[in-house]
């Protein structure tokens, strides 16, 4: 487990103190993919760089496994860093070295013998899907391929923890997805813990189970991705939810729907990721003699299931509609909000 307590980083710039990371306390489980999301300036980069002491903390403690990172001397810190891989937004590759030699670099520093080094490099090249590109130079690679080299290099010394500093922010959406798939793949294959920072909800939604939302150096909300984003409490979290649910003016939309659909009962169904909610609409129309007209909605998927809202019109005999609603309320975790009763 990774246990971070009261972590602080104060920068002084032009005689002004900046609390980049401000009394941050967080536990991260072994083997999980944990995301930290925040807007520019929230303190994410500083936070992730404190974890391997690329940035020295002002105060607080960081325990990774049994080791208290903050109290290590230079020699022990160097050793501990071999167990912590890191990847970067702009890849940080050595431009005069080939793919193979970039990946071999941390092994050379760790003093691994040539034969073993070559074997390990080939394994890593296969793992990240770069077979055939061993002798290419970074300038000959696409962004996604460069990040694959970064990942292979970060994994060279078999770390237990991988830190990802905005690792997909420089990539297009399709390449982002392929890199996120690769991170999930190595997390599962190697049982590696991954901590990532991002300003993109898509990244959190797609691969993280737990998330912390950062603002002005502090964590303002944290928990399961589904819980945090299906019931956001802080304005900053609500803004991130809008990033994937789309900007809608709920009041205006409801007014329009009420004016257009004058028949039947209008209800809003709130989905919060649960297997019991699967195929809800088809189950209801098979079971009850009613019609369901989907008027508006968006459900988005996370690692623990889907969440979102659907606005529907229920048409039929009032007792059948009532029974259908009771069925949804008792047999599923979907919340039913009646916006307008049968007229």
Ligand X SMILES: Nc1ncnc2c1ncn2[C@@H]1O[C@H](COP(=O)(O)OP(=O)(O)OP(=O)(O)O)[C@@H](O)[C@H]1O
**Residues interacting with ligand X, by CB under 6 A?**
11, 13, 18, 20, 38, 40-46
Rounded-to-5 percentages of helix, strand, coil across the chain:
40, 30, 30
Q: How far is the CB of 23 from ligand X (least distance, A)?
A: 14
Nearer to ligand X, 163 or 280 (CB): 163
275 sits in which H/E element: none
Closer residue to ligand X in complex, CB, 89/313 = 89
Q: Min. distance of Cβ 12 from ligand X in angstroms?
A: 7
Report the nearest approach of ligand X to the CB of residue 5 (Å). Answer: 19
Shortest Å distance, C-beta 211 to ligand X = 15
How far is residue 284's CA from residue 324's CA, in Å, rounded to a whole number? Answer: 6
State the minimum distance, in angstroms, from the CB of residue 195 to ligand X. 14
Least distance (Å) between residue 241 CB and ligand X: 19
Q: Smallest distance from the beta carbon of 41 to ligand X, in angstroms?
A: 4
State the Cα–Cα distance between residues 103 and 13, nearest whole angstrom: 37
Q: Which is nearer to ligand X, 19 or 304 (CB)?
A: 19
Query: In this structure, are residues 190 and 162 in contact, taking their beta carbons and an 8 Å threshold?
Result: no
Cβ proximity to ligand X, 44 vs 117, nearer residue: 44
Shorter beta-carbon distance to ligand X: residue 20 or 196: 20
44/210 with CB nearer ligand X? 44
State how far the Cα of 69 lies from the Cα of 48, in Å rounded to an integer.
Answer: 13
If phi over 0 gives left and psi between -120 and 50 gives alpha, with beta otherwise, what is residue 282? alpha
Question: Judged by CB, which is closer to ligand X: 44, or 81?
Answer: 44
**Residue carrying structure tokens 């970039």:** 102
Sequence-ordered list of residues with C-beta below 8 angstroms from that of 269, at least 6 positions apart, any chain = 280, 297, 309, 310, 311, 312, 328, 334, 335, 336, 337
Strands (DSSP E) along the chain, which ranges? Answer: 2-13, 16-28, 33-37, 59-64, 67-68, 84-88, 161-165, 193-198, 210-215, 218-224, 265-272, 291-302, 305-315, 335-340
Given a contact cutoff of 8 angstroms between Cβ atoms, the answer to whether 206 and 176 are in contact is no
Task: From 214, 217, 212, select the one nearest 229 (Cα to Cα).
Answer: 212
Rounded least distance, CB 43 to ligand X, Å: 4
Shortest distance, position 24 Cβ to ligand X, whole Å: 12
Q: Which is nearer to ligand X, 10 or 339 (CB)?
A: 10
**Nearest-angstrom CA–CA distance, 164 and 180:** 11
Separation CA 44–CA 50 (nearest Å): 10
> Among residues 44 and 268, whose Cβ is nearest to ligand X?
44
Strand pairing report for 59-64 and 67-68: antiparallel
């Amino acid at each position: 487990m990774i246990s971070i307590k009261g972590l602080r980083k104060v920068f002084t710039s032009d005689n002004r103190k900046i609390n980049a990371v401000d009394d941050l306390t967080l536990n991260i489980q072994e083997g999980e993919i944990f995301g930290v999301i925040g807007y520019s300036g929230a303190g994410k980069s500083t936070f992730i760089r404190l974890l391997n002491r690329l940035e020295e903390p002002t105060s607080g403690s960081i325990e990774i496994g049994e080791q208290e990172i903050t109290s290590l001397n230079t020699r022990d810190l160097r050793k501990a860093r071999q167990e912590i891989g890191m990847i970067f937004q702009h890849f940080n590759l050595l431009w005069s070295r080939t793919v193979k030699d970039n990946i071999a670099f941390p092994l050379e520093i760790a003093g691994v013998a040539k034969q073993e080094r070559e074997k390990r490099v080939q394994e890593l090249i296969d793992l990240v899907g770069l077979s055939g590109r061993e002798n290419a130079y970074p300038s000959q690679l696409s962004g996604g391929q460069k990040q694959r080299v970064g990942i292979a290099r970060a994994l060279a010394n078999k770390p237990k923890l991988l830190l990802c500093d905005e690792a997909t922010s420089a990539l297009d959406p399709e390449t982002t997805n392929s890199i996120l798939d690769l991170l999930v793949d190595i997390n599962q294959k190697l049982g590696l813990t991954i901590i990532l920072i991002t300003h993109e909800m898509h990244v959190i939604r797609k691969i993280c189970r737990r998330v912390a939302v950062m603002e002005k150096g502090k964590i303002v909300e944290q928990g399961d991705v589904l819980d945090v984003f299906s019931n956001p409490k802080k304005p900053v979290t609500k803004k991130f939810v809008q990033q994937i649910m789309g900007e809608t003016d709920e009041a205006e939309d409801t007014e329009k729907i009420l004016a257009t659909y004058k028949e039947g009962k209008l209800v809003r169904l709130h989905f919060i990721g649960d297997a019991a909610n699967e195929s809800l609409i088809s189950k209801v129309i098979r079971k009850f003699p009613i019609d369901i007209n989907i008027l508006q909605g968006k459900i988005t998927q996370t690692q623990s299931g889907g969440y979102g809202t659907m606005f529907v019109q229920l048409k039929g005999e009032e007792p059948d509609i009532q029974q259908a609603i009771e069925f949804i309320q008792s047999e599923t975790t979907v919340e039913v909000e009646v916006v307008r009763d049968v007229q």
